[in-house]
C-alpha cells in the first residue's frame, strides 16, 4: 500500500484552536461517504484521536457500519423531552456517534428550550474530542452542515457519473454559498494511478469554471474486505487490519487533523449552535 501521507507531511500544520478540527464529507449517492466516515472514525479512534462522528443521514447507516445500536434522531426528539444522551452512542473503539438526522423543517420545529439544552450538552462533548467527522446530507436537500463545517471533503469514485455529480455538489456549494476550498478523496479505486486520473478529470472541469481550490488528500482502494466488514458490522480496521482498505484508513486518519485549512479565519462557535442559527438564517426569505 502506497504511503499517501508522505506528500502532505511537508506542508501540514496541526490545529491549535479551542475546538477540534471539523470535516464534513459529501459526494455523489453511492460513492461510499458513510462507509468512509465510519472507517476514518474507527481508524482515528484506534490512533487515540477521540473522534466525534455526526450523522445527518436518515436510515441509521452509520450505526450499522460502526457496529453500535441505533439511537434516537434529532428530528424525532419531542419538543419538551429528550436530550443529547438519546442521540448518542459510543462504540467499543471509543468513537462517539451523535445522530443529528433531521430535515430543515424538523429542526425548525424544535423549541428554543431544547436547542439550548442540546447545545450546552454538546459543547462539553465537542471540546473533549480530538476531531469531528460529519456524514453530511446532499446540499440540494440540506446545505447547512456543509456551510458550517471548517473543512469540506468531496468524495468521488472513478465512474464518470460520480465525478459529474461531485462537480455539481461543488458547484452548488461554491456558487450559492461561497465555499472555495475542497479536499478531494477518491474511493473504490484499483490503485493510485486510477485515483489520480479521477482527480484530474474533476479538477480540469472545476478549474475552468468554478475558481475553487481543490486539494488531493488520498484514496481508498476497492477492497472486498470492506464489504465483508460491513456484513459483520465491524470496522474494517478491526476486522481485517491487514487489508489494503484498513491500511488506507489508518494512513488517512493519521493525516486528517493536518488537513485543517478552513475557508474562514473566524473563531467558530459550537457546532449545534451554528446548526441552529444558520438554519434559521437560511429560512428567512431574501428581500428583493
192 touches 2 (CB < 8 A): yes
CA nearest to 5, candidates 272, 207, 198, 255? 255
Q: E-strand spans in the chain?
A: 22-27, 51-55, 88-90, 96-99, 131-135, 151-156, 181-189, 213-221
The pLDDT of 168-193, averaged and rounded, is: 94
Asked if the model's pLDDT at residue 257 lies above 90, the reply is no
Q: E-strand spans in 105-235?
A: 131-135, 151-156, 181-189, 213-221
13-40 residue pLDDT tens: 333 457 889 999 999 888 999 999 999 9
CATH number of 20-278: 3.40.50.300
Asked if the model's pLDDT at residue 1 lies above 90, the reply is no
Long-range contacts of 227-235 (CB under 8 A, 24+ apart): 230/35, 230/64, 230/65, 232/67, 233/64, 233/65, 233/67, 234/67, 235/38, 235/39, 235/42, 235/43, 235/65, 235/66, 235/67, 235/93
91 touches 67 (CB < 8 A): yes
CA nearest to 87, candidates 39, 76, 79? 76
The DSSP secondary-structure symbol of 28 reads S
Burial of 23 (0-12, 13-18, 19+ CB in 10 A): buried
Grid coordinates belonging to 96: 462517539
Spatial neighbors of 16 by CB under 8 A, at least 6 apart, are none
216-236 residue pLDDT tens: 999 999 999 999 999 999 999
Whose grid coordinates read 419538543? 79
- C-alpha dihedral, 252 to 257 to 261 to 264, nearest 10°: 130
Question: What's the Cα-to-Cα distance from 115 to each of 109, 128, 147, 173, rounded to whole Å?
Answer: 10, 20, 19, 26
CA nearest to 227, candidates 236, 218, 219? 236
116-159 residue pLDDT tens: 999 999 998 998 999 999 999 999 999 999 999 999 999 999 99
Query: Residue 3: which pLDDT band, with cuts at 50, 70 and 90?
Result: low
pTM for the model: 0.90
| pLDDT attached to residue 187 | 97
State the Cα–Cα distance between residues 75 and 58, nearest whole angstrom.
Answer: 10
Amino acid at each position: 500500500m502506497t504511503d499517501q501521507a508522505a506528500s502532505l507531511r511537508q506542508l501540514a500544520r496541526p490545529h491549535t484552536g479551542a475546538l477540534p478540527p471539523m470535516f464534513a464529507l459529501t459526494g455523489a449517492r453511492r460513492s461510499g461517504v458513510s462507509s468512509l466516515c465510519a472507517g476514518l472514525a474507527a481508524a482515528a479512534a484506534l490512533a487515540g484521536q477521540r473522534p466525534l462522528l455526526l450523522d445527518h443521514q436518515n436510515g441509521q447507516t452509520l450505526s450499522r457500519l460502526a457496529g453500535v445500536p441505533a439511537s434516537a434522531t434529532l428530528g424525532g426528539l419531542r419538543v419538551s423531552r429528550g436530550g443529547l444522551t438519546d442521540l448518542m452512542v459510543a462504540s467499543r473503539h471509543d468513537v462517539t456517534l451523535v445522530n443529528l438526522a433531521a430535515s430543515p423543517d424538523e429542526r425548525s420545529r424544535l423549541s428554543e428550550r431544547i436547542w439550548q439544552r442540546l447545545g450546552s450538552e454538546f459543547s462539553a462533548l465537542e471540546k473533549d474530542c480530538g476531531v469531528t467527522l460529519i456524514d453530511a446530507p446532499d446540499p440540494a436537500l440540506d446545505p447547512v452542515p456543509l456551510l458550517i463545517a471548517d473543512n469540506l471533503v468531496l468524495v468521488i469514485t472513478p465512474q464518470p457519473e460520480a465525478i459529474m455529480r461531485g462537480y455539481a455538489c461543488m458547484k452548488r456549494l461554491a456558487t450559492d454559498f461561497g465555499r472555495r476550498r475542497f479536499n478531494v478523496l477518491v474511493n473504490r479505486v484499483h490503485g493510485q494511478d486510477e485515483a489520480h486520473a479521477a482527480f484530474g478529470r474533476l479538477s480540469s472541469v472545476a478549474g475552468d469554471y468554478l475558481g475553487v481550490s481543490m486539494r488531493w488528500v488520498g484514496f481508498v482502494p476497492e477492497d472486498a474486505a470492506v464489504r465483508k466488514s460491513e456484513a459483520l458490522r465491524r470496522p474494517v480496521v478491526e476486522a481485517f487490519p491487514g487489508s489494503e482498505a484498513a491500511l488506507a484508513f489508518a494512513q488517512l486518519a493519521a493525516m486528517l487533523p493536518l488537513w485543517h485549512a478552513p475557508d474562514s479565519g473566524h473563531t467558530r462557535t459550537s457546532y449545534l449552535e451554528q446548526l441552529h442559527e444558520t438554519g434559521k438564517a437560511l429560512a428567512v426569505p431574501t428581500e428583493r
